[in-house]
């Protein structure tokens, strides 16, 4: 049975959430509430303090307690949507109360730093914690090599435009790849070369030819749980890539944005293969923590530290101290490791279920990359002459998917792929969504029965 205080707390909280008390409205006085609930004044004070900690109400000195503005609730009659397009965490999976506690603690511990411009490279105490985290992935770097960025996108934007010690000017990217990197390269008018990456990997002779002949400054790669394919390089492929980078003086930007979701403890990054001088290892925290914190970290080769420091300082002077403080507390307390484990299990189960349903429902020729052993993405190949029309039809039926056309360079030959993300779906959503996708594919086949699929698994 709930304690009386808990019953009162639940009652007042529901009144706020359900709009009985409107944003900005003053709550009943403490003595008035104690009479209403037939309890002590101290009980109501404790209830109001708890609601303050939940950021539902706030106090005005000598005035009382008032309701904080809340996010508008979605109307109950709004049509249900199945979201295969989102690559951001499901809000229901984020421990928001823990984050609030970390934020409050960060306000207390880093109060002095909030009123100054800290080191552009990042708080030294956080960089130590990041170095420890990297060590768990076999990335052995010192705190002096660790940089904290205002999100992985900032890191990619800065790296795309800065000069590298090898003096080369061209950039090599996988095709398809993360659209944010392509946008950064296009905005800075960089010379970019594409190399095809399929569900089977890349062509190594083509890669070596590019490294040898095309003045490649750096190669941007997502070796683990590729976006959008969802596939990963084998350990042998990662080692070979590290060796080629060393041999041809080409830097590697290793975007390990889903390292926290790895289920294979022996799956090391490229950076682990004896190539500390040529690999920039980049790690995002947006898939496990709140994307709004805008935090990423990278370990930078010694030869690049001065130029990265200069570009980082000119970009924003320093990354948000509060965000850094929250992450540091989250790491030190063990909450990060615990939450990452929970997300790893949750997303792995969802992805395995997606693979199972895809194989049961769709013909083999559509299954482009479904043999992923982790991560958040899988892809379907389309043979429709108008894939955008298919996406619109699915949207009209309540299913959101992403067509990968923006994940190719404009000059590179494209194949039509649908990227499916499991981050904001559950097993029922997956089953219903794939059935709808299958029905739409059956209805609108535009490829003759004699045409062979472009790729086979």
Here the CATH number for the domain that contains residue 40 is 1.10.10.10
Whichever domain contains 251, its CATH number is 3.40.640.10
Kindly state whether residues 305 and 364 are assigned to the same domain.
Answer: no
What are the tens digits of pLDDT across the range 50-76?
888 777 888 887 788 988 865 544 454
In a domain, 11, yes or no: yes
pLDDT at 452: 47
At residue 165, the pLDDT reads 96
pLDDT at position 107, please? 81
pLDDT at 453 over 60: no
Q: What tokens does 354 get?
A: 């997606």
User: Is 421 within the bounds of a domain?
Assistant: yes
87 in Cβ contact with 227 (< 8 Å)? yes
How far, in Å, CA of 319 to CA of 313, rounded? Answer: 9
**Does residue 316 sit in the same domain as residue 345?**
no
Q: What share of the chain in percent tops pLDDT 90?
A: 61
Shared-domain flag, residues 213 and 345: no
**pLDDT tens digits for 141-156?**
999 999 999 999 999 9
| Per-residue pLDDT at 2 exceeds 70 | no
Same domain, 329 and 354: no
Q: What's the rounded mean pLDDT across residues 39-51?
A: 89
Phi, psi of 59 (to 5 degrees): -105, 145
Give the model's confidence band at 454: pLDDT under 50 very low, under 70 low, under 90 confident, else very high. very low
Residue 270 inside a domain? The answer is yes
Residue 385 near residue 446 (C-beta atoms within 8 A): yes
Measured CA to CA in angstroms, residue 236 lies from 198, 212, 269 at distances of 17, 21, 11
pLDDT band at 111; cut points 50, 70, 90: confident
For residue 22, what are the domain limits? 4-67
Q: Is residue 202 part of a domain?
A: yes
341 and 330 co-located in one domain: no
* Long-range contacts of residues 380-383, Cβ cutoff 8 Å, at least 24 apart: 380/417, 380/418, 380/420, 380/437, 381/415, 381/416, 381/417, 381/453, 381/454, 381/455, 382/416, 382/417, 382/418, 382/441, 383/416, 383/445, 383/446, 383/447, 383/451, 383/453, 383/454
Phi-psi sector, 122: left (phi>0), alpha (psi -120 to 50), beta: left
Q: What pLDDT, on a 0 to 100 scale, did the predictor assign at position 78? A: 61
Of 260, 281, 250, 286, nearest to 146 by C-alpha is 281
Supply the pLDDT for residue 70. 59
Is residue 50 situated within a structural domain?
yes
Residue 333, C-beta contacts closer than 8 angstroms, at least 6 positions apart: 102
Do both 307 and 434 map to the same domain? no
pLDDT, average across residues 261-271: 91
Q: Name the residue with higher pLDDT: 374 or 188.
A: 188
Q: What is the mean pLDDT of the chain?
A: 89
Round to whole Å and give the CA distance between 220 and 173. 5
C-alpha to C-alpha distance for 209 and 202, rounded to whole angstroms: 13
Longest dimension (CA), the chain: 83
H/E element holding 99?
Answer: helix 96-109
pLDDT band at 112 (very low <50, low <70, confident <90, very high): confident
Model confidence at 113: pLDDT above 80: no
In a domain, 77, yes or no: no
Please list the residues that pair with 26 across neighbouring strands.
66
Residue 1: predicted pLDDT: 44
Q: Mean per-residue pLDDT for 248-274?
A: 94
In a shared domain, residues 326 and 342: no
- On whether both 116 and 36 belong to a single domain, the answer is no
DSSP letter at 356 equals: H
**Assigned domain for 313 exists:** yes
| Secondary structure (3-state) at 58 | strand
- Is residue 190 helix, strand or coil? coil
- How far is Cα 37 from Cα 25, in angstroms, rounded to an integer? 20
SS3 198: strand
Which has the closest alpha carbon to 405: 417, 421, 391? 417
Same domain, 372 and 323: no
Which pLDDT belongs to residue 447? 42
- CB of 283 closer than 8 Å to CB of 336: no
CATH number of the domain residue 433 falls in:
3.90.1150.10
Higher pLDDT, 450 or 414: 414
Q: Are 133 and 263 in contact (CB under 8 A)?
A: no
393 and 383 co-located in one domain: yes
**128, two tokens:** 């130590």
When pLDDT is averaged across residues 397-424 and rounded to a whole number, the result is 94
Report residue 191 as tokens.
Answer: 């010379």
Beta strands in 236-373 (DSSP E): 251-255, 279-284, 296-299, 367-369
Query: What letters, b where the CB count within 10 A reaches 16 and e where it falls short, cover 270-292?
Result: bbbbebbebbbbbbbbbbbbbee
Report the pLDDT value the prediction gives residue 444, as an integer from 0 to 100: 67
Mean pLDDT on 263-280 = 91
Q: Which of 307, 335, 363 is the last residue of a domain?
A: 335
77: pLDDT strictly greater than 80: no
Rounded Cα–Cα distance for residues 224 and 288 (Å): 16
Instruction: Please give the Cα distance from 4 to 11 (Å, whole number).
Output: 11
**Residue 451 — pLDDT band, cuts 50, 70, 90?**
very low
Q: What is the dihedral of CA 265, 266, 268, 272, to 10 degrees?
A: 120
Structure confidence at residue 102 (pLDDT): 79
**90 domain-assigned:** no
Q: Is the pTM of this model over 0.95?
A: no
Q: What's the pLDDT band for 233 if we cut at 50, 70, 90?
A: very high
Q: How many domains does the chain have?
A: 3
Mean pLDDT of 303-332: 92
Residue 120 has pLDDT above 80, yes or no: yes
Say whether pLDDT at 10 is over 80: yes
């Amino acid at each position: 049975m709930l304690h009386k205080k808990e019953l009162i707390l639940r009652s007042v909280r529901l009144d706020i959430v359900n709009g009985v008390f409107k944003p900005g409205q003053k709550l009943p006085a403490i003595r008035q509430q104690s009479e209403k609930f037939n309890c002590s004044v101290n009980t109501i004070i404790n209830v109001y303090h708890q609601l303050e900690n939940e950021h539902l109400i706030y106090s005005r000195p000598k005035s009382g307690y008032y309701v904080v503005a809340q996010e508008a609730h979605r109307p109950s009659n709004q049509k249900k949507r199945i979201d295969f397009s989102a690559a951001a965490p499901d809000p229901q999976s984020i421990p928001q109360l823990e984050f609030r506690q970390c934020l409050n603690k960060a306000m207390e511990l880093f109060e002095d730093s909030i009123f100054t411009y800290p080191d552009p490279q990042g708080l030294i105490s956080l960089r130590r914690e990041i170095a420890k985290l990297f060590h768990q992935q076999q990335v052995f770097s010192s705190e002096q090599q660790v940089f904290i960025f205002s999100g992985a996108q900032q890191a990619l934007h800065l790296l795309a435009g800065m000069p590298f010690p090898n003096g080369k000017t061209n950039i090599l990217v996988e095709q398809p790849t993360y659209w944010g990197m392509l946008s950064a390269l296009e905005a800075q008018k960089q010379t970019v070369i594409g190399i095809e990456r399929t569900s089977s990997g890349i062509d190594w002779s083509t890669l070596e030819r590019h490294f040898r002949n095309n003045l490649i400054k750096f190669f941007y790669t997502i070796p683990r749980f590729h976006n959008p394919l969802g596939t990963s390089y084998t350990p042998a492929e990662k080692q070979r890539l590290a060796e080629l980078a060393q041999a041809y003086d080409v830097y590697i930007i290793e975007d390990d944005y889903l390292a926290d979701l790895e289920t294979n403890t022996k799956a090391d990054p490229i950076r682990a293969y004896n190539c500390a001088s040529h690999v920039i290892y980049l790690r995002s925290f947006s898939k496990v923590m709140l994307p709004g914190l805008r935090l990423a970290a990278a370990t930078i080769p010694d030869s690049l530290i001065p130029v990265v420091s200069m570009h980082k300082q000119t970009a924003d002077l320093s990354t948000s101290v509060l965000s850094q403080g929250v992450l540091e507390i989250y790491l030190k307390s063990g909450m990060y490791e615990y939450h990452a484990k929970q997300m790893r299990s949750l997303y792995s189960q969802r992805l395995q279920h997606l693979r199972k349903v895809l194989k049961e429902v769709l013909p083999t020729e559509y299954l482009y990359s479904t043999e992923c052993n982790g991560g958040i993405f899988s892809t379907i190949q389309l043979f429709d002459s108008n894939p955008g029309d298919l996406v619109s039809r699915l949207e009209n039926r309540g299913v959101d998917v992403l067509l990968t056309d923006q994940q190719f360079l404009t000059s590179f030959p494209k194949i039509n792929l649908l990227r499916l993300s499991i981050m904001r779906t559950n097993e029922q959503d997956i089953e219903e969504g794939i059935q709808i996708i299958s029905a739409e594919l059956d209805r609108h086949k535009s490829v003759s029965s004699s045409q062979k699929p472009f790729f086979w698994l």
